[in-house]
Amino acid sequence: MAIAELTHFIGGKHIKGTSGRFADVYWPMTGEVAARVPLASKAELTAAVANAKEAQAKWGAENPQRRGRVLAKFVALINRDMDKLADKLSREHGKTIADAKGDIQRGLEVAEFATGIPHLMKGEFTDNAGPGIDMYSLRQPLGVVAGITPFNFPAMIPLWKCCPAIACGNAFILKPSERDPSVPLMLAELFLEAGLPPGILNVVNGDREAVDGILDDPDVQAVGFVGSTPIASYVYSRATANGKRAQCFGGAKNHMVIMPDADMDQAVDALIGAGYGSAGERCMAISVAVPIGKKTADALIKKLIPRVESLKVGTSVDPSADFGPLVTRDAVNRVKGYVETGIKEGAKLLVDGRGFKMQGYENGFYMGGCLFDNVTADMKIYKEEIFGPVLSVVRAKDYDEGLKLVNDHEYGNGVAIYTRDGDTARDFAAKCKIGMVGINVPIPVPLAYHTFGGWKRSGFGDLNQHGPDSIRFYTRTKTVTSRWPSGVKEGAEFSIPTMG
């Protein structure tokens, strides 16, 4: 297979990298190197920002209805090219075609939300706030903003970041993951076809050098990040120290609490899909099951074991596969290392998928599903995000202990509870210290017109992704107080102005 050489996308053109540094892009299902992606130098990043800054002034002055029309055309083009985008995404990431289409669709919904920008950017107005005085507010774009996005959702999260930002009148610098950069480049091409002016969306591939360039560039006004918690903390601290707005989302350890009255078949279905879908490489994956009481735990384990054993691992393009390979060989080795640690810590490994081999694809990055029982809160496999097809069962004696487990964990991204009791569900939703809660819903990702974000060490910053928060994040509010001379009493006023 010929190895392609990818580019940056700057000023509406594909630009070859000049740093001399490259990273390999793999096809996880075969283990082959499919492409090389250039890693930008700080100078290349600075040039992209300068290009964006020059283009932004005119774009920001466009009326929001015209910007919304570009977003609407972009939505139509994504729908037109859905199959092509999904095929490329699945081959570079490893997730199945169906899962890849879901990745794109959830990003598409935020683009659809952003088409409503004429309404979303409306300010407030008060007539006759004082004698002859009117008061109104404006929302104005920040200028150049940036997004640093992860490998596990190479379409969804770039779209979550760039669509509201662009709709608000900003220019956007996207630094996607170097592991699967092709879909972000394809999205940039579609934006250009939709009528977005050159320079408003720039894709700069890179590693830490490009990230630090974004964080230090004085013309970048805001940064959004999704990735691991240590890097989220680093990006947030460095960005805010440089006077930038920042919204940074990190790791997760999402629990599902199963009450004794839960529909057990429904709960097991939810755990299988939410725990093992996309090989567990989701920040909203359920990685911890918390059955309440021994009877519930025993019943859950009895049903889980055969379901995990029967999971079908396949290639990215196999329509019958439950999940495909992990993104890299390093990712497989990392997950296997966690499983070995769990065994050493005393957890009971009920299903071991480490030995899985895909016939005909022996060099691919595959791993079968794993299931642990008797995991405790002091174990590394409970404390840390594994990001693989591994589900841990932590038994709790009662509801209060289960709630405490959820609230005591350092991560607070998502959580679910399965129960038939409305009082229990309402109490749990009120008391859990988690950003997104599902009641009989395993992966509670809010729709585009609500906001997405975790608490505690899962999120840094005051404003979340998509929904109304995204409009607030990518704009500044300006409040104007106006009075015209006619009929105004002459003379200086030395006391603080009031509207009495």
Contact between 29 and 317 (Cβ < 8 Å) = yes
pLDDT, average across residues 5-31: 97
Residues 243 and 281 in one domain: no
Q: Is residue 487 part of a domain?
A: no
Q: Is residue 490 part of a domain?
A: no
Question: For 375, phi and psi rounded to 5 degrees?
Answer: -80, 140
pLDDT band at 21 (very low <50, low <70, confident <90, very high): very high
The closest alpha carbon to 168, from 465, 452, 472, 464, belongs to: 472
Tens digits of residue pLDDT in 205-218: 999 999 999 999 99
CA distances from 357 to 27, 324, 366, 405 (A): 16, 12, 7, 35
The helix (run of H) or strand (run of E) holding residue 270 is helix 264-276
pLDDT on residue 130: 85
Mean pLDDT of the chain: 96
What is the phi-psi region of residue 195: left when phi exceeds 0, alpha when psi lies from -120 to 50, beta otherwise?
left
pLDDT at 387 over 70: yes
pLDDT, average across residues 97-121: 97
Residues 24 and 140 in one domain: yes
Q: Using CA atoms of 241, 407, 301, 347 in order, give the dihedral in degrees to the nearest 10.
A: 70
pLDDT, average across residues 249-259: 97
CA distance 86 to 46: 32
Q: Catalytic: 283?
A: yes
Contact between 200 and 56 (Cβ < 8 Å) = yes
pLDDT, average across residues 60-77: 97
Residues 60 and 81 in one domain: yes
Looking up tokens 């299903």, which residue turns up? 351
pLDDT on residue 490: 67
Buried b (16+ CB within 10 A) or exposed e, 289-315: bbbbbeebbebbbebbeebbeebebbb
User: 384: exposed, middle or buried (C-beta count within 10 Å: 0-12, 13-18, 19+)?
Assistant: middle
pLDDT on residue 330: 97
Tens digits of residue pLDDT in 459-471: 999 899 999 999 9
Contact between 321 and 314 (Cβ < 8 Å) = yes
User: One of 162, 168, 283, 370 is an active-site residue; which one?
Assistant: 283
Residues 189 and 276 in one domain: no
pLDDT at 491 over 90: no
Residues 40 and 187 in one domain: yes
The lowest-confidence range among 126-140, 196-210, 232-246, 287-301 is 126-140
pLDDT, average across residues 18-44: 97
Residues 229 and 324 in one domain: no
pTM over 0.85: yes
Q: Is residue 425 part of a domain?
A: yes
pLDDT on residue 1: 66
Residues 104 and 213 in one domain: yes
Structure tokens belonging to residue 76: 């139509």
Residue-number span of the structural domain to which 347 is assigned: 254-439
Contact partners, residue 392, CB within 8 Å, separation at least 6: 287, 288, 289, 342, 347, 372, 375, 381, 382
pLDDT on residue 496: 74
Tell me the torsion sign for CA atoms 408, 409, 410, 413: negative
How many beta carbons lie within 10 A of that of residue 413, not counting itself? 27
pLDDT on residue 391: 98
Residues 200 and 268 in one domain: no
CA distance 64 to 118: 5
pLDDT at 494 over 80: no
Residues 356 and 282 in one domain: yes
pLDDT on residue 200: 98
pLDDT, average across residues 443-470: 93
pLDDT on residue 131: 85
pLDDT at 487 over 80: no
How many beta carbons lie within 10 A of that of residue 133, not counting itself? 16
User: 336: exposed, middle or buried (C-beta count within 10 Å: 0-12, 13-18, 19+)?
Assistant: middle
User: 131: exposed, middle or buried (C-beta count within 10 Å: 0-12, 13-18, 19+)?
Assistant: exposed
CA distance 472 to 159: 17
pLDDT on residue 499: 60
- When divided into structural domains, the chain yields a total of 2
CA distance 490 to 494: 13
pLDDT, average across residues 121-133: 91
Q: Is residue 452 part of a domain?
A: no
